[in-house]
Amino acid sequence: MLMRLKQGLFHQANITMLKNDTSNAITTVRTVSDLRNILKIWRNNKLTVGLVPTMGALHDGHFSLIKRSLSLSDRTIVTLFVNPKQFGSNEDFDTYPTDELSDIKALENLSVDVIFAPSTEEMYPTGNITNISIPDIGDLLEGAFRPGFFDAVATVVCKLFMISSPDFAFFGEKDYQQLLIIEKMVQDLNIPTEIVGCPIIRSKDGLALSSRNVYLSEKDRLVAPLLYKILNEILDDAKNGEELKKTLNNAKMNLLNSGFTQIDYLKICDKKYLTELNNFSFDARILGAAWIGNTRLIDNIRVN
């Protein structure tokens, strides 16, 4: 690994400063100091840096973020780190899908510049650490169902920003609330990184891509796209002037009658603050979280 890192540094520093290595081999970095050594060289050469934070188990949704970074930044870092702090005690940390080898292969094919895949000890050497907490918006929707989740996400993303000082960082609209929270954190803490939100990538049948979709049984996979369909029906009804409360209640009943087992929320919210709206507005976002058996799906659509 060290040799590859050195070769990478040599290449970056002395040979061409071209975008890609001649070989497809990618530099996988495990420590903060190794990453900072590479960044120092990039910075000395006035190269812009794009960061794509992920928890691995990469799919086309991630690849769209990475492609956006490759097109906007001189250098792209993809992080692979399953952040234990953002999983509740009853959640799926132990079973969260991971396949580092296949992720690395995919990232090599995309010509990403560096993978940052630290261990938990590297990210949290002292265990309990300073926590970033995002008020108000962090307590709504996902925050209400997953207490502490957004603190943990904001904290790890803030650490990744402090480690790499990226010019750009890329997040999918699939996790719309997470995107707003990162934008707020960057604004509140004067972090000089531009947050780039990227559209949701869906399967042909409408299901939003997610690493957790692998949990769905064959039968449940057929039911899952209904969440997206229902969000669109809510939008149509709302635009047609139907009463929102009635529309949302009907939508919940439809989901439950079609195989969903529990609805955490289905709401029309202000697109910036995520407060629930009583009257339809074009400044809205429609968001939902629902379970099929043991699998929790989230999705959202824009209004316009």
Which of 103, 151, 175, 237 binds ligand PAF (CB under 6 A)? It is: 175
* CB closer to ligand PAF out of 11 and 62: 62
DSSP conformation class of 112: -
Structure tokens at 3: 């040799």
* CB closer to ligand PAF out of 123 and 277: 123
Residue positions counted in the chain: 304
In the window 202-261, what residues touch ligand PAF (CB under 6 A)? none
Give yes or no for residue 54 binding ligand PAF (CB under 6 A). yes
Which of 35, 41, 70, 156 binds ligand PAF (CB under 6 A)? It is: 156
What ranges make up the beta strands (E) of the chain? 27-29, 49-54, 75-80, 114-116, 168-172, 194-198, 262-270, 284-292, 295-302
CB of 259 to ligand PAF, least distance (A): 26
* CB closer to ligand PAF out of 13 and 82: 82
The one catalytic residue in 35, 39, 61, 62 is 62
Q: How far is it, in rounded angstroms, from Cα 78 to Cα 66?
A: 8
Provide CB contacts within 8 A for 224, sequence distance 6+: 207, 213, 216, 292, 295, 297
- CB-based burial label for 58 (10 Å; 0-12, 13-18, 19+): buried
In the window 71-110, what residues touch ligand PAF (CB under 6 A)? 83, 86
* Closest among 97, 59, 39, 50 to 78, alpha carbons compared: 50
CB of 156 to ligand PAF, least distance (A): 5
Give yes or no for residue 193 binding ligand PAF (CB under 6 A). no
Asked about 62 being catalytic, the answer comes back as: yes
Span from 6-14, 153-161, 231-239, 252-260 in contact with ligand PAF (CB under 6 A): 153-161
Give yes or no for residue 55 binding ligand PAF (CB under 6 A). yes
Give yes or no for residue 66 binding ligand PAF (CB under 6 A). no
Cβ contacts of 245-254, under 8 Å, gap ≥ 24 = 254/226, 254/230
Parallel, antiparallel or unpaired: strands 284-292 and 262-270: antiparallel
CB of 82 to ligand PAF, least distance (A): 8
Give yes or no for residue 157 binding ligand PAF (CB under 6 A). yes
Which of 38, 153, 208, 292 binds ligand PAF (CB under 6 A)? It is: 153
Q: How far is it, in rounded angstroms, from Cα 235 to Cα 98?
A: 35
Contact between 48 and 181 under an 8 Å Cβ cutoff? The reply is: no
CB of 55 to ligand PAF, least distance (A): 4
CA atoms within 13 A on the CB side of 9: 15
Q: How far is it, in rounded angstroms, from Cα 125 to Cα 30?
A: 13
* CB closer to ligand PAF out of 224 and 298: 298
CB of 79 to ligand PAF, least distance (A): 7
* CB closer to ligand PAF out of 14 and 130: 130
Span from 65-73, 150-158, 239-247, 264-272 in contact with ligand PAF (CB under 6 A): 150-158
* CB closer to ligand PAF out of 27 and 83: 83
Kindly list the catalytic residues: 62
Q: Which residues bind ligand PAF (CB under 6 A)?
A: 53-55, 83, 86, 153, 156-157, 175, 178
